[in-house]
Amino acid sequence: MKHSVFRVLLDAVHTRMVELTESKGEEYKGADDNQFGNFERTAQDTGLSREQVWLVFFNKHFDALRTYVRDKATGTKRQRSESIVGRIDDAILYLILLRGMVGQNDGVGAGIDWPKAIAYKCPNCRSGKVVFDPATVGKVGCCDTCVGRFTLTDIQVDSEGGFTVVAENAHGR
């Protein structure tokens, strides 16, 4: 496969990961908007860690991939309940989920090349800025003009590597 074709494949897989996250992720994250909700609820029900639950769920996909590779090597034909491409996509998404868990365990955004600070336009005065360290989700930052206080609730990364800061008024106003 030529590199240029591989780049097209990477773009297509990225698009598919976003689609899967929007469809399957909606089913699993629950009312609290927790991307790891399904793993954490199952962990609580079973006494396992969420990473152990992840491994059990991931192994289903890995086992299908292993069977496909063995069948390919031996010329075995069999009916599959899901396409192998679908299983690969699921496995990729599961690996990204594990990467997110590792990042959460090691500190928000671990392993991602975050900027040192993100400036957020103050929603109160509209002229000042609130500066957050990306590793401080849940922490409070102050506007440099009106001294409004805001809690960093999320950082979203767009497909082009840009960042969107989601913050709430720390005083509930």
- pLDDT < 50 stretches in the chain: 172-173
pLDDT of 33:
76
Whether the model pTM is above 0.95:
no
- Token pair, residue 38, equals 């399904």
pLDDT of 58:
96
pLDDT of 91:
95
Under 8 Å between Cβ of 164 and 156: yes
DSSP, residue by residue, 93-158: HHHHHHHHHHHHHHSTTTTS---S-EEEE-TTTSSSEEEE-TT-TT-EEEBTTT--EEEEEEEEE-
pLDDT of 2:
87
pLDDT of 62:
95
pLDDT of 52:
97
pLDDT of 173:
42
Domain ranges of the chain: 3-106, 118-169
**CA atoms within 13 Å, Cβ hemisphere of 74:** 9
Q: How far apart are the first and last CA of the chain?
A: 56
